[in-house]
Amino acid sequence: MNQYFQKIFKNGQPWRFKKSHSKEDRYITWGLGIDRPFYFSSKFAIKNKSITITGTQITHDHSWPIEYSIVKKSKLGTSIKYCDSVIFYGNYSKGEFIHTFNIPSGTDYQLEVFNHFKYHSTGKIQITQDRNQSPS
């Protein structure tokens, strides 16, 4: 087997199925394009009225926006309620961006990543619960 296939297949399984336990595991990796301009995370709860996102993004133009929103979708997924949003422009490949959303505590929230239909963009993001605020 050549080196390319040795990297893809490790222990008889494709590398993408291998689970590791590094700090990178806490990051959600996303990729968007013109045909798929939205990414929705799995549902999560907000406990102390705020969460923080930390991440990186790569776009093909420094003026292109990537919007990160905390949303709630209807049970059938036919409507979306936007709770809070932030926009970061261009690349954050070497330095991470950080933003704290102040959202009422509750369940069934999702993170929506939207590239405004601007070609291909990729990134990774981590969602953490803020512990500094006391629960109400």
State mean pLDDT over 3-15. Answer: 43
Domain membership of residue 43 (yes or no) is yes
Q: Which of 128, 68, 117, 74 minimizes the C-alpha distance to 92?
A: 68
Q: Which residues have a Cβ under 8 Å from the Cβ of 114 and sit 6 or more positions away? A: 32, 37, 38, 39, 66, 67, 69
CATH number at residue 34: 2.60.120.260
Q: In which domain, by residue range, is 27 found?
A: 22-128
Judge whether 60 and 66 are in contact, CB under 8 Å: no
Structure tokens at 128: 């953490």
34 contacts 119 by C-beta, under 8 angstroms: yes
- For 9, phi and psi rounded to 5 degrees? -105, 115
Number of domains in the chain: 1
96 occurs within a structural domain: yes
Instruction: Say what the pTM is.
Output: 0.76
- Inform me whether the pLDDT recorded for 2 exceeds 60: no
Does the pLDDT at position 51 exceed 80? yes
**Better-scored residue on pLDDT, 120 or 8:** 120
Examine residue 111 and state whether it is found in any structural domain, yes or no.
Answer: yes
